[in-house]
Amino acid sequence: MLPFTWKLAHGRSLQLGRKSRVMGVLNLTPDSFSDGGRFTELDRALDQADRMVAEGADIIDVGGESTRPGGDPVAAAEEQRRVLPVIEALAQRIDAVISIDTYREETARLAVAAGAHIVNDVWGAQREPGIARVAAETGAGLVLMHTGRDRDKLPDVIADQFAFLSRSLEIAAEAGVERERILLDPGFGFAKDAGENLEIIARFEELRGLGVPFLVGTSRKRFIGHVTGRDPDDRGPGTAATSVVLRLKGAVIFRVHDVAINIDALAIADAVLEHARSAEN
């Protein structure tokens, strides 16, 4: 499965496997759980993207609707008003890959037209399955995330991952999305308690059975606060610790708010993995 060339829209691609890749979070929302309201103005959003790229982010993930528990839904027009000008500006400003964090088919299509290379869907193409057609028709990379929201979960966390994500992969295949354009995400924090999140980390290697590389997003999540006792803004070190563990267990992309600390932590994990590969040869 790895190394892996992830094919993206607009002729772009990312090499995955030998080196960790970091996706910087750019929330253009007033109510996100840790950075709501900080980057709602265009100039501040672009400055934050510049900062994350300078710190080493390979991807900037642009979101216009908070996905925190209990977050207020946003109309599609408002989501698009928030994200499209930023994506258009970033496409002219940075060389890093651009991702749109949305579950809406229309927003995804407009975002890719504006310059986004990746569609990152927190509902795994199961809320608006047409979003998979957008990826198929535009050649965008597609991230299919697991969620436990609004449904009954299986008792075993890994069995539930397989059940949900297998259906997401079926939807993508039916829409014509090439397998080399797809990544999966276990959806840390999405209708999962602290114990469930920790169990997914402990058993992460089992997810390789799905046959698709994984992006992970533990950044500043509540379960990190549960373990460390830290508030969201102080969960960077705890996030970096989860990044290292998950890297050693096979994850390839890390969606984070605090880019620099995760870049350094993942450089150590990559060095350990490279040393282990060299020792085997």
pLDDT in tens, 147-185: 999 999 999 999 999 999 999 999 999 999 999 999 999
Write down the number of H helices and E strands in the chain: 9, 10
Q: What range defines the domain where residue 12 resides?
A: 4-280
pLDDT at 2: 77
Q: How far apart are CA 73 and CA 192, in angstroms?
A: 20
The CATH number that applies at residue 137 is 3.20.20.20
What would the two tokens of residue 115 be? 């310059």
In percent, the amount of the chain with pLDDT more than 70 equals 95
What would the two tokens of residue 22 be? 């970091």
**Nearest-CA neighbor of 63 among 108, 7, 21, 5?**
108
pTM as predicted:
0.94
CB hemisphere CA count around 213 (13 angstroms): 27
Q: How far apart are CA 247 and CA 21, in angstroms?
A: 10
In this prediction, residue 190 has a pLDDT band, given cuts at 50, 70 and 90, of very high
**CB 49 within 8 Å of CB 24:** yes
In this prediction, residue 82 has a pLDDT band, given cuts at 50, 70 and 90, of very high
pLDDT at 14: 98
| Residues forming the active site | 221, 255
Q: Say yes or no to pLDDT of 108 above 60.
A: yes
Would you call 221 helix, strand, or coil by DSSP? coil
Q: In the chain, how many domains are there?
A: 1
CA 144 to chain centroid, in Å, comes to 9
Would you call 48 helix, strand, or coil by DSSP? helix
CA 112 to chain centroid, in Å, comes to 16
User: What would the mean pLDDT of 231-246 be, rounded to a whole number?
Assistant: 97
User: What would the mean pLDDT of 201-210 be, rounded to a whole number?
Assistant: 98
Exposure b/e, 37-73, CB count within 10 A at least 16 = b? ebbeeeeebbebbeebbebbbbbbbbbbbbbbeeeee
